Amino acid sequence: MAAIGAAAAVGITAIATAYAQAKIGAAGIGALAEDDSLFGSVLILTALPETIVIFGLVVALIATGFI
């Protein structure tokens, strides 16, 4: 049960991150096409949703008793 919970935690948050990054990434490439000096900001914005999956990882580790 704990293993299924851990898998769900990582899996679902990974999908959520991917969905967010896909949208931000597409918009970011659009912005870069207009002005490539925005690279740093776009990189940050694209990287932001990764925190979601890190939370998923933490929950998974708690569920499996690693922490």
Residue range at the interface with other proteins (CB under 8 A); choices 1-9, 13-21, 22-30, 38-46: 38-46
Q: Where do runs of H (alpha helix) occur along the chain? A: 2-34, 39-47, 50-63
48 sits near other proteins (criterion: CB under 8 A): yes
66 sits near other proteins (criterion: CB under 8 A): yes
51 sits near other proteins (criterion: CB under 8 A): yes
State how far Cα 48 lies from the chain centre.
Answer: 7
3 sits near other proteins (criterion: CB under 8 A): no
